[in-house]
Structure 1
Amino acid sequence: MSSRVKSKQANQVVRAQLAREERKRRLRMITLIAGALIVIAGFIGWGIASAQRSTKAQTPTGASSDGVGLIVGGNGGKAKVELYVDFMCPHCKTFEESAAGTLDEMMSSGRAEVIMHPVAYLDDASTTDFSTRASAAAACASDGGKLNEFSKALFAQQPAEGGPGLSDAELITIGRGVGLGDDFAQCVSDKKYVTWVSKVTNAASERGVRGTPTVYVDGKAVEATVQALTAAVNAAQ
């Protein structure tokens, strides 16, 4: 065999060996990249799951059966009265002041169960998202068994539109004034129910609630007046 042929064969062996080494190198690289992608995907999935857990709406104590309302009182009342209110809404304050006594009587006599849906339609009416923070504080008050007292006191000190609203410290002071303590204060400071308020607001919009106050009696919308409310509850007895 000539030296030229031997040299050619040797070169072929070397090229084949180099090709095998290159394939092995590429395979190792592909394996490493695939492994890295799996790890990255795992971290992304974990991060998404963690974010979902952290933003999941916690349900307040005393929530209604659908989870998007707060039972004010009158469990088992013959009529079911639902109130959609925004603590920044002047009309809600007017309705509360006129209807509070009637609602209290309806609850104490067992004529009606009253459920409040605190929504946040008017966050843009303050510079600090007061509607959301106030509704979240109402949920904290529900935890402490003082929702009715707190909501009345909060409406009594309703801030003017266009300003900062009340601070968290001021909300806590109002709560302490109706007998709520450190747990309430911590709940407000932690903004525990802010995500829940978004859930309530979205549910209200899906139901067709376009403004506040909105009143339902046994699932039917009624005019937000004492007269219309009383007539609807009387009809349900």
Structure 2
Amino acid sequence: MQPTNFSNFLLNISKTPLRVLDACIPNSSYIALDLSENNIELQAIDVSSSSKLETYITNYISKHHGKIAFGGYNEVRTIYKRSHYFNVETAKERNIHIGMDLWCDANSPIFAPLDATVHSFKNNTNFGDYGPTIILKHYIKNVEFYTLYGHLSLVSIENLKVNQVFKQGEPLGFLGDSVVNGDYPPHLHFQIIKDLEGFSGDYPGVCNKADLDFYLNNCPDPNLLLKLDF
């Protein structure tokens, strides 16, 4: 299946928005947030501090009368400069975000957007990494693909089992706080993955410019499912 066809397939899975957060929260309460290097406001914020970034995001949501901030797909960010994980362990700087972030309170429940089984899970403990992470496997109309849920709480993976079944809308876990989630303000990293390339409990959520075309093809925009600004 070609990337364009895969994106069309994802878009047409559901005519209505799918949800990874509380389904009672309407699209109007989701506020688009720009955390890219082009956001001039961020130049006055110490984004290396999770508490200062959290204050900025919380105030932004309140200012726009929302409940959840979202965005980040294919976004070039400076926040990753604080972590050796993105800059030393790879030959080229990784600073382009290839999932969608949903910023809301720690311990917010996370839900399976589609019927799924657990492919794998892991606590990714590098500074700036996902922390507790779950990867679900989906099989719809003879098409297999995966969704990744990063920055969860530890309790989310404590009793989890590979191949465990989750039905659409069933609680999957909870958001973690900065102590366990890689030192970020509480948020969900949600990512669609066509080919896991052998990864287990982990998959790159940030890439470098040289590899961007591959990752955009392998990890289409999560908004094809969530439809937050449609």
**Structure with max Cα Rg:** 1
Query: Which one has the bigger strand percentage?
Result: 2
Query: Is the structural similarity TM-score above 0.5?
Result: no
Query: Which one has the bigger helix percentage?
Result: 1
Task: Please report the TM-score for the alignment, with normalisation by the length of structure 2.
Answer: 0.29
Task: Please report the TM-score for the alignment, with normalisation by the length of structure 1.
Answer: 0.28
